[in-house]
Amino acid sequence: MGAQLRLLRRRIKSVKSTAKITRAQELIASSKIMKAQARMQAALPYEREITRAVSGVVSNTASVDHPLTVEKDQPTRAGVLIITSDGGFCGGFNANVLREAEALKGLLEGRGITAVPYVAGTKGVTWHSFRSREMGGRWTGFSRQPSYRDAKEIAETLIESFKAEDGIDEIHIVSTEFVSMLTQTVVVKRILPLEVVETEAETEDAILPYFEFEPTAEAVLESLLPRYVESRIFTALLQSAASEEAARRRAMKSATDNANELIKTFTQQMNQVRQAEITQEISEIVGGANALADAAAGKE
């Protein structure tokens, strides 16, 4: 009985320590979500305006013939930018991204295209390294607070490989999109080659203004398209950072709740053992008293 009580007390103490850690992680993630959301919202106007500028150039150009917009007839290699986290304690956040990346890899191979992973985040890099998979590029250390410099570095690597003769023919992004505090979805987007779609404006406000280009539309497009790719990657990094914190908060809250339930269960078991021990001691005392009484009655 005593050994069992000591074991249960040690378990309760251990689970309480774990609950303190998970609760602290939950509070930290909750505070960082607001900052991540603010950064994400602040970046949206830039992405919206640069997309509008690129659309304006393409709409006012008779023929679009740029390396970043021309789709190859028979693509053979595709770069897949996989955005994961640097840290853990975020539930199935990374597993969902990697599972979707594997599904995209299967689809590309079904088309006869070799998928080349470009991985951001320690978890994704470790996952690919453990399986001895070659990566076209790897970046770590900024998943929770990405900067535009990080996005620019990734974009330059991808664009350089895209322009190379023996490089990649397509670029896809697999990342997590922040919908709400409770919902984050994994999305797959193709950013290169740029898809040019002719549509009619639904309203007059949607019609893009007429532009005059200096020196030429091609030169303007040459300058804008890399910035457009950088902004798309930066937005994906910010969305992933907010999603990571939300997933970590949800996972840590679940872990804290489970720890509290374990504490209740262990406490009930400890009380039952203690009650059984007390009952046994009372029984022994009563039995001893009866034995003494019987012995005294026998002497009389």
Look over the chain and give the mean of its residue pLDDT values, rounded to a whole number.
Answer: 86
**92 falls within a domain:** yes
Q: Name the band, by pLDDT with cuts 50, 70 and 90, for residue 56.
A: confident
Domain that holds residue 91: 27-196+210-252
**246 falls within a domain:** yes
Q: Tell me what pLDDT residue 287 has.
A: 78
Higher pLDDT, residue 218 or 62? 218
Higher pLDDT, residue 277 or 141? 141
Q: Name the band, by pLDDT with cuts 50, 70 and 90, for residue 57.
A: confident
Which of 52-56, 63-67, 103-107, 134-138 has the least mean pLDDT? Answer: 63-67
Q: Is 121 left (phi over 0), alpha (psi -120 to 50) or beta?
A: left
**149 falls within a domain:** yes
Average pLDDT over residues 108-112: 93
Measured CA distances, 245 to 19, 148, 228 (Å): 19, 19, 26
**280 falls within a domain:** no
**120 falls within a domain:** yes
**279 falls within a domain:** no
Count of structural domains within the chain:
1
Q: Name the band, by pLDDT with cuts 50, 70 and 90, for residue 123.
A: very high
Is the per-residue pLDDT at 239 higher than 60?
yes
Average pLDDT over residues 139-147: 93
Q: Tell me what pLDDT residue 164 has.
A: 86
Is the per-residue pLDDT at 45 higher than 80?
yes
Q: Name the band, by pLDDT with cuts 50, 70 and 90, for residue 98.
A: very high
Is the per-residue pLDDT at 197 higher than 80?
no
Q: Name the band, by pLDDT with cuts 50, 70 and 90, for residue 62.
A: low
**121 falls within a domain:** yes
Which of 26-40, 47-61, 78-92, 120-134 has the least mean pLDDT? Answer: 47-61
The CATH number assigned to the domain holding 86 equals 3.40.1380.10
For Cα atoms 84, 88, 89, give the angle at the middle one, nearest 5 degrees.
125
**172 falls within a domain:** yes
Q: Name the band, by pLDDT with cuts 50, 70 and 90, for residue 293.
A: confident
Q: What is the pTM of this model?
A: 0.82
Q: Name the band, by pLDDT with cuts 50, 70 and 90, for residue 81.
A: very high
